[in-house]
């Protein structure tokens, strides 16, 4: 199992060491932080990963940390864990885009499943980010052509629709293939779908 | 902003206006004033009545005397004619004279006098009655000497109270009447109270009637009427007097009666006022008592909620504290089992021990879950309420305590309702807690101008309630841990108060924060989302 790195932020030393020990046995890369503020400063330099945040910490709550991280671009999949089985906090957590909400003490199986899901979400997240990046390289006209190819239109249909010569359309297709690094129509369709700028 | 007055101070004021009547001096003064007014009224009206009576009697006497005096002139004329008609003194004259004397008792002597130019005058005929006496002819002669015939003149008489009227008949004859002045007034005509004085140009003629007292009594006065008798022959002046005593001006019986009645009236009014005042005071006391009772009930309710919440907060605090080591224990044991398995130690005693640890940790976790479920059972009774009203309520309640501790408690709330979805008792508890903390902080500084300010104001889509003080402020090292359960800076504090405040506020989707004010002292801010929904506003209005 390949899993994204996990960043654990919890003010309790015992919890940090126990969870890193446990996740270590699964071969998960885990970095722990006792101070949310220090983590906030470090986060932009870290590789994207899954956030495992304690809800109750001095000075700042896990939810607030999550919001602050999202604000600086670290909008990674987040799991909030709490000792309080707090329904209100839970509701707000999901509203804020948190992927899971775990109650302490966290059972091994539950934790691993949640992390796997979050990691998957991070993959999707990364994939989308990549697609957006690729599509962003295209000119407006190329994006139009990509969109039509993605819908399964032929070169002639595209040329008629855009009032271009089929030759020009072919030139655009060649440029697109070069920029996106693929000639597969199926891949074109996937990138056209998820590569729209957010 | 609306500043609420201190409700405890806005109490009795209206009664002070009435209490002056309760002073005995003022009461006696009022009574004396009434008596004086009655005295002046009584004296004035009686005096006027006396003046009128005296002047009416005087006028009646003036009329009667004028008529009688005129009769004397008529008699003189008649007698003169009779005397002239006869050359010699005759019996006729005597008869007429005697008849006049009989019918007019005030005329006591009629004399016919001869006035020869050479010889001494003599009385030709004389009729007298009572104390009348024959005239001295020389006096008649002197009196009429200068008169032309037919004219008459006044003459004095030796007897006190008597005077004479004499008429010259011709060169040699004259007639004289002797008049008893006292009889000019007939018995019934002179009122018993009256003193009548008759006088001539020469001086007093007579005084009759009631005797005037020698020395005027206290405040005694005399009412008088003066008039002249219009007669050429008998120019009399009439003076009628009445002596009036204080007792007559101010009759003792009515005065005493008035005094008694007015005293009774005043006593009645005073007792009515006192009754009304007592009733008002009683009403006020009852109101104050019911207010106190309402406050006490509110306090009880709050204290009850605080106990319940504190218990919950404590349980939840314990759960939170235990959860952390339990998390470590469970995860560590599960890690241990995986390490054991990786080393081929599955189902060895060490693995069994670790498995037992996992079970026990989960069992403990279940207990905590049940504990939390029990604590979380207290149902939320959230509805849309006016924060302003509840902030004002709790400030009024806290004021009792702060007044006693000499700390000023001010409140600023907007006039418009500040609607939020809350459970009033819970939120009041939060504000109550914050005010109490603020008061404790102020008390530590032992300053005389200790002050706590509770302010409510809108802030975007929320309302902010700030509780600020001029106390010690919060040490910076404590600030981050302020809302942790079981964390307290007070020697006897459980460390649940602020943690409870946070739990409550978060239950209503709000937040709480603390900072130190620029001018010292602490500022706690509670933010609660405003209830925007019109429908909810209507609910609150109902």
Q: Do B327 and A106 touch (CB under 8 A)?
A: yes
The structure tokens 């605080």 sit at B306
Report pLDDT for B81: 85
Token pair, residue A151, equals: 């819908």
**Residue A80 pLDDT > 60:** yes
Given a contact cutoff of 8 angstroms between Cβ atoms, the answer to whether B154 and B164 are in contact is yes
Considering all CA atoms of chain B, what is the largest pairwise distance in Å, rounded to the nearest integer? 201
Residue of B nearest to A11 (CA): B324
Which residue from B324, B331, B373 is facing A83, i.e. has the nearest CB?
B324
* Between residues B487 and A109, the one the model is more confident about: A109
A119-144 average pLDDT score: 83
- B86-89, long-range: CB < 8 A, 24+ apart: B89/B124, B89/B125
Residue of B nearest to A17 (CA): B328
Residue of B nearest to A112 (CA): B331
Percentage helix, strand, coil for chain B under 3-state DSSP, each rounded to 5: 50, 20, 30
Tell me which of A50-59, A94-103, B95-104, B448-457 is least confident.
Answer: A94-103
Given a contact cutoff of 8 angstroms between Cβ atoms, the answer to whether B327 and A17 are in contact is no
Report pLDDT for B216: 58
A129-141 average pLDDT score: 83
Alpha helices, H only, A9-107 = 13-25, 36-42, 62-71, 87-95
Report pLDDT for B13: 46
Report pLDDT for A6: 94
Give the three-class secondary structure for B450: coil
Token pair, residue B132, equals: 């009348």
CB of A38 within 8 Å of a chain B CB? The answer is no
Report pLDDT for A34: 93
Report pLDDT for B304: 79
Report pLDDT for A19: 94
| pLDDT in single tens digits along all 542 residues of chain B | 444 444 444 344 444 545 555 577 888 888 899 999 999 999 999 999 999 999 999 999 999 999 999 999 899 888 888 877 766 667 788 888 888 989 988 899 998 888 877 778 888 888 888 888 888 888 888 888 888 888 888 888 878 888 889 998 888 888 998 998 888 888 788 888 888 888 888 888 888 887 776 655 666 788 889 999 888 888 889 998 888 888 888 888 989 999 999 999 989 988 898 899 999 999 999 999 998 888 888 888 888 777 777 777 788 778 878 888 999 999 999 999 999 999 998 889 999 999 999 999 988 988 888 887 777 655 566 788 899 999 998 898 888 888 888 899 999 999 888 999 888 888 888 999 899 999 988 988 888 888 999 999 998 889 999 999 998 888 888 888 888 877 787 777 777 788 888 888 888 888 899 999 888 889 999 999 988 754 554 555 54
Token pair, residue B305, equals: 């909620």
Buried b (16+ CB within 10 A) or exposed e, A20-34: bbbbebbebebebbb
Residue of A nearest to B339 (CA): A25
- Work out the pLDDT band at A88, boundaries 50, 70, 90: low
Determine how many CB atoms are found less than 10 A away from the CB of residue B358: 20
CB of A46 within 8 Å of a chain B CB? The answer is no
Report pLDDT for A36: 92
**Residue A7 pLDDT > 90:** yes
Q: Do B330 and A25 touch (CB under 8 A)?
A: no
Does the model's pTM come out above 0.90?
Answer: no
Give the separation between CA A89 and CA B149, rounded to whole angstroms.
Answer: 148
Report pLDDT for A87: 64
Report pLDDT for B1: 42
* Between residues B86 and A177, the one the model is more confident about: A177
CB of A21 within 8 Å of a chain B CB? The answer is yes
- Work out the pLDDT band at A38, boundaries 50, 70, 90: very high
Give the three-class secondary structure for B383: strand
The structure tokens 């509780």 sit at B467
Give the separation between CA A140 and CA A149, rounded to whole angstroms.
Answer: 14
Give the three-class secondary structure for A184: coil
Give the separation between CA B181 and CA B68, rounded to whole angstroms.
Answer: 11
CB of B365 within 8 Å of a chain A CB? The answer is yes
């Amino acid at each position: 199992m390949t899993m994204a790195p996990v960043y654990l932020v919890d003010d309790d030393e015992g919890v940090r060491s126990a969870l890193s020990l446990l996740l270590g046995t699964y071969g998960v890369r885990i970095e722990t932080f006792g101070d949310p503020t220090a983590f906030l400063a470090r986060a932009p330099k870290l590789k994207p990963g899954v956030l495992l945040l304690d809800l109750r910490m001095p000075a700042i709550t896990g939810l607030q940390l999550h919001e602050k991280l999202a604000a600086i671009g670290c909008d990674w999949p987040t799991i909030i864990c709490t000792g309080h089985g707090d329904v209100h906090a839970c509701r707000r957590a999901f509203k804020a885009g948190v992927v899971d909400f775990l109650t302490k003490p966290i059972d091994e199986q539950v934790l691993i499943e949640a992390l796997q899901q979050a990691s998957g979400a991070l993959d999707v997240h990364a994939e989308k980010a990549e697609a957006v990046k690729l599509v962003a390289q295209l000119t407006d006209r190329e994006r139009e052509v990509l969109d039509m190819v993605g819908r399964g239109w032929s070169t002639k249909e595209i040329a008629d629709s855009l009032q271009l010569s089929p030759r020009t359309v072919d030139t655009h297709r060649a440029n697109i293939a070069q920029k996106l690094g693929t000639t597969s129509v199926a891949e074109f369709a996937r990138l056209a779908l998820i590569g729209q700028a957010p | 902003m609306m500043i609420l007055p201190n409700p405890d101070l806005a109490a009795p004021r209206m009664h002070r206006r009435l209490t002056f009547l309760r002073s005995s001096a003022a009461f006696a003064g009022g009574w004396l004033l009434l008596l004086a007014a009655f005295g002046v009224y009584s004296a004035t009206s009686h005096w006027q009545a006396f003046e009128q009576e005296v002047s009416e009697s005087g006028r009646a006497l003036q009329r009667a005397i004028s008529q009688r005096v005129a009769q004397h002139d008529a008699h003189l004329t008649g007698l003169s004619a009779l005397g002239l008609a006869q050359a010699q003194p005759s019996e006729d004259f005597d008869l007429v004279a005697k008849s006049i004397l009989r019918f007019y008792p005030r005329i006591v002597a009629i004399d016919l006098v001869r006035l020869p130019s050479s010889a001494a005058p003599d009385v030709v005929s004389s009729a007298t009655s009572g104390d009348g006496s024959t005239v001295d002819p020389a006096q008649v002669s002197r009196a009429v000497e200068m008169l032309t015939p037919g004219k008459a003149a006044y003459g004095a008489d030796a007897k006190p109270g008597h005077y004479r009227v004499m008429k010259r008949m011709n060169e040699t004859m004259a007639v004289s009447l002797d008049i008893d002045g006292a009889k000019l007034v007939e018995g019934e005509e002179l009122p018993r109270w009256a003193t009548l004085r008759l006088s001539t140009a020469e001086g007093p003629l007579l005084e009759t009637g009631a005797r005037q007292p020698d020395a005027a009594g206290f405040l005694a006065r005399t009412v008088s009427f003066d008039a002249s008798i219009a007669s050429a022959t008998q120019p009399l002046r009439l003076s009628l007097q009445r002596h009036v005593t204080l007792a007559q001006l101010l009759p003792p019986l009515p005065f005493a009666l008035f005094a008694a009645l007015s005293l009774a009236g005043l006593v009645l009014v005073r007792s009515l006022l006192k009754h009304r005042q007592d009733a008002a005071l009683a009403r006020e006391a009852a109101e104050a008592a019911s207010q106190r009772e309402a406050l006490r009930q509110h306090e009880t309710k709050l204290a009850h909620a605080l106990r319940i919440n504190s218990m919950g907060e404590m349980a939840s605090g314990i759960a939170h504290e235990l959860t952390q080591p339990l998390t470590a224990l469970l995860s560590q044991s599960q890690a241990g089992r995986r390490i054991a398995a990786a080393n081929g130690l599955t189902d060895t005693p060490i693995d069994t021990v670790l498995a037992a640890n996992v079970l026990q940790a989960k069992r403990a976790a279940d207990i905590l879950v049940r504990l939390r479920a029990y604590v979380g059972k207290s149902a939320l009774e959230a509805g849309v309420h006016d924060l302003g009203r509840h902030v004002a309520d709790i400030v009024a309640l806290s004021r009792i305590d702060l007044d006693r501790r000499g700390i000023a408690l001010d409140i600023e709330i907007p006039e418009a309702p500040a609607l939020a979805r809350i459970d009033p008792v819970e939120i009041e508890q939060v504000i109550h807690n914050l005010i109490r903390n603020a008061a404790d902080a102020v008390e530590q500084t032992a300053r005389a101008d200790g002050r706590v300010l509770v302010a409510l104001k809108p802030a975007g889509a929320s309302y902010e309630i700030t509780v600020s003080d001029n106390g010690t402020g919060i040490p910076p090292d404590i600030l981050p841990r302020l809302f942790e359960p079981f964390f307290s800076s007070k020697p006897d504090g459980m460390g649940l108060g602020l943690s409870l405040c946070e739990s409550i506020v978060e239950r209503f989707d709000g937040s709480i924060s603390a900072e130190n004010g620029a001018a010292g002292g602490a500022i706690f801010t509670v933010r609660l989302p405003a209830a925007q929904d019109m429908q909810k506003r209507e609910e609150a209005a109902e």
